[in-house]
Each structure stands twice: as C-alpha cells, then as structure tokens.
C-alpha cells in the first residue's frame, strides 16, 4: 500500500471519529509537520504549539478535505497557514537590519565549508519573524510574492524586499561562520 493510500485509509477512520485513527494520523505525520512548524517558529516550544493548533484545526475540519491532491499536502498547507496566522496575530511586520549580538549556532559545527541541516535551520530560526516567514514561504514552501503578500497582509514589493534582506542576513551570517572556522583551523 502506498504512503498516500495508507494515509487515506487512516483518514477514513478519522472521518468515522475513531480515536485510534486520529492518534495514528498524528503519530504518522507529526514528525514531518513538526519540521514544517520549526521553520516558522523561534524555538521548539513554539513549533509544538503551532503543530498542536494545526492538528486541532485538521480534526475540527475533517470533512473539508476534498480528495484533491495529496492528503499530506493538504495537512502541510494547514500547518503553514496556522503558523502564518499565529505570526500575524503576534505582531506586525517590522524590518530589522541585523540579528543582534547573541547569535550562536548550537548543534553540529560548521566545518570544511559544509553546513549541517540543523545548523541551517538554526540560522533560519534566528532571522527576525518577518524575514523568517517570508523566507520560508518563498524559498521552502514555494509561494509567490503575491501569495505571500496576500497571506501576510503586505505588498508584493515588501515581500520581495524582505526576502532580499533575509537572504542578505543569511549570507552575512554564513560568511562570519566560515571566517570563524578558518581562524579555528589556523589557530
């Protein structure tokens, strides 16, 4: 049975309000959905809150999935929208020029010009909220600037500008890490 067919089988149990299938859907998809939420959250606790909120929406709206496209894609879309809604409620867009002084990487080290996935995720999480949201929506989720603008209540131009600044901050931070690593290797 393919993954999508397996998920549809679980989904049918969820539609019958069978708790064991709801738990199974959560167990099967929560690791992937947590990864999605982590891209939008400042930390793991916030990501877990977003994910929980997203699954509540999913279970409250079980019948709204129309069997168009993949079920996992539909659930992922709900998680992204939940993160965006949470962001919009939290504060309005503010452009920031730098990360601040307390930016450090935890986890695996940047060495030999390679960057571990965890380190990259850490760098993205250090972006200011507005930058992180636009960067994730565009670079990772594949939204257009028009779609980002509509979702976040900003202009398409501001979306483009914010993405450019986010990329610039990431590039600057990566360059600093590379220089630091070269100094460590030389010393």
The CATH number of whichever domain residue 29 belongs to comes to 1.10.1740.10
Question: Of 140, 127, 138, which is closest to residue 166 (Cα–Cα)?
Answer: 127
What count of other Cβ atoms lies within 10 Å of the Cβ of residue 113? 10
Give residue 50's domain range.
1-90
- Return d(Cα 159, Cα 147) in angstroms, integer: 9
Q: What are phi and psi of 158, to 5 degrees?
A: -65, -35
Model confidence at 103: pLDDT above 90? no
- Average pLDDT score over residue span 17-24: 94
Residue where one domain finishes, among candidates 72, 90, 108: 90
- Our count of domains for the chain comes to 2
- Average pLDDT score over residue span 145-153: 91
Of the pLDDT bands very low, low, confident and very high (cuts 50, 70, 90), residue 187 is: low
- Average pLDDT score over residue span 128-149: 90
- Average pLDDT score over residue span 157-162: 93
Residues 183, 98 share a domain: yes
Model confidence at 117: pLDDT above 70? no
Residues 22, 76 share a domain: yes
- Return d(Cα 154, Cα 147) in angstroms, integer: 10
């Amino acid at each position: 049975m393919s993954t999508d067919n397996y998920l549809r089988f679980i989904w049918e149990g969820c539609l019958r309000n069978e708790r064991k299938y709801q738990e199974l859907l959560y167990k099967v998809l929560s690791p992937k959905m947590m990864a999605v939420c982590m891209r939008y959250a400042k930390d793991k606790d916030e990501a877990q809150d977003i994910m929980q909120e997203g699954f509540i929406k999913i279970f409250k709206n079980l019948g709204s999935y129309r069997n168009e496209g993949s079920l996992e894609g539909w659930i992922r879309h709900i998680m992204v929208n939940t993160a965006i809604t949470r962001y919009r409620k939290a504060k309005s867009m503010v452009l920031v020029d730098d990360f601040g002084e307390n930016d450090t990487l935890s986890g695996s080290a940047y060495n030999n010009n390679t960057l571990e996935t965890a380190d990259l995720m850490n760098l993205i999480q250090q972006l200011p909220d507005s930058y992180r949201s636009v960067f994730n929506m565009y670079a990772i989720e594949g939204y257009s600037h028009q779609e980002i603008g509509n979702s976040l209540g900003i202009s398409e131009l501001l979306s483009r500008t914010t993405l450019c600044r986010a990329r610039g901050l990431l590039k600057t931070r990566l360059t600093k890490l590379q220089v630091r690593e070269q100094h460590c290797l030389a010393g």
